[in-house]
Amino acid sequence: MLLSILAVVIVFGGLIFFHELGHFSVARALGMGVSTFSLGFGPKLLKKKIGKTEYALSLVPLGGYVSLVGESHDAELPDGFTREESFSLRPAWQRLLVVLAGPVANILLALILCIVVALGWGVTTLLPAVGDVQQGTPAARAGLAKGDLVLSMDGVAVPSWTDLSDRISAGNGAPIRFEISRKNENGQEMVFETTITPERSERKTIFGETETAWLIGIRSAGLFVNEDVGLVDGVKAGFTQCWNMLSLTWQGFVKLVERVVPADQVGGPIMIAQIIGEQTDNGLVGLLGLAALISINLGILNLLPVPVLDGGTAVLCLWEIIFRRPINTKVLDYSVRVGVALLVALMIFATFNDVMRLVSG
């Protein structure tokens, strides 16, 4: 239990801290004033002033915050800071860079974690092994059976289940020559070839949607192999894994808006803390992978064009850049109120879902 709590604090705190570090780094690089950079929230336990900025360690270790000088036009400047260091008086493009730096930092952190996992633990590949053959399908008619391993398709090696699936889709229904490895009752390997013609069929996506695709009627056996990789291949694998996470997360947000994903699947801090705690038992590699996924979710969530989020502020900066004037003050004030209301409502809804899952589970 103590280890799970520690993991939740480190992951939650680290991801939010890295987000704020992005804002801080770009703001300082552009010469903007930062009055406070705190690790954690609440009462300050330790603090030290370096230059004009106060660096603090606060009581609640779940994240951190950055206090930029002059975040609004009517904000008073702290002692020692000049108007030239005020965030609100800087050109819109500079404010835009500072705003986007937080979400970008989260995505960059996810990339670093993916590369670390690839270099430290190798690359995991789902093998093209057959786990189940559906009756009446092309695979069943061709004689495929549970436990078969696909070696090649039309003479091209198939190292993973993804390669197998992609080549079937790319064939557009044309016959494919499969090279299959099968072990007999004595454990001896037999290799044979068979030709299978995919058929257009329906299947469920990971989001529960029904789609049509070229299929042969097999399911994965869920067998994985782990391979050590060098520096170059590890970096490539990290980029690939990070991109896949980014794409899947964005699709998830879109499907949620389209109501493909049920609203009761939305989770909040309680659910995230539960998942982190459970993943702790699976070792460091699983925890790092989960941290990368949560970091990407945090980055994309903050990029949503909702006032009070980074994405909403970015939209206001883009408006100013395009139309060469700031948005009307009354409109801005109203949008901020709406944004706060939406954010609070979302947090209440997500927490309600979390509690209901705890009660029903």
* CA pair distance 288, 112, nearest whole angstrom: 10
Tens-digit pLDDT profile for the chain (361 aa)? 677 778 877 888 889 889 999 999 999 999 999 999 998 888 899 999 999 999 998 888 767 889 999 988 777 888 889 989 999 999 999 999 999 999 999 999 999 999 999 999 999 899 999 999 999 999 999 999 999 999 999 999 999 999 999 999 999 999 999 999 999 888 889 999 999 999 998 888 777 788 899 999 999 999 998 889 999 999 999 999 999 999 988 888 888 777 777 777 777 777 777 777 777 777 788 889 989 999 999 999 899 888 888 999 999 999 999 998 888 888 888 888 888 888 888 888 888 887 887 777 6
Look at the domain 125-226 and name its fold: Pdz3 Domain (2.30.42)
Q: Which residues contact 202 (CB under 8 A, 6 or more apart)?
A: 210, 211, 212
| Per-residue confidence (pLDDT) for residue 361, from 0 to 100 | 62
| Per-residue confidence (pLDDT) for residue 79, from 0 to 100 | 85
* CA pair distance 106, 111, nearest whole angstrom: 9
| Per-residue confidence (pLDDT) for residue 330, from 0 to 100 | 84
Question: 292 with 249: CB under 8 angstroms?
Answer: no
Q: What are the domain boundaries of the chain? A: 102-122+238-360, 125-226
Count CB-CB contacts under 10 A for residue 253. Answer: 15
Count CB-CB contacts under 10 A for residue 55. Answer: 16
| Per-residue confidence (pLDDT) for residue 59, from 0 to 100 | 86
Q: What DSSP element (H or E) covers 166?
A: helix 161-170
**Cα 325 off chain centre by:** 35
| Per-residue confidence (pLDDT) for residue 134, from 0 to 100 | 93
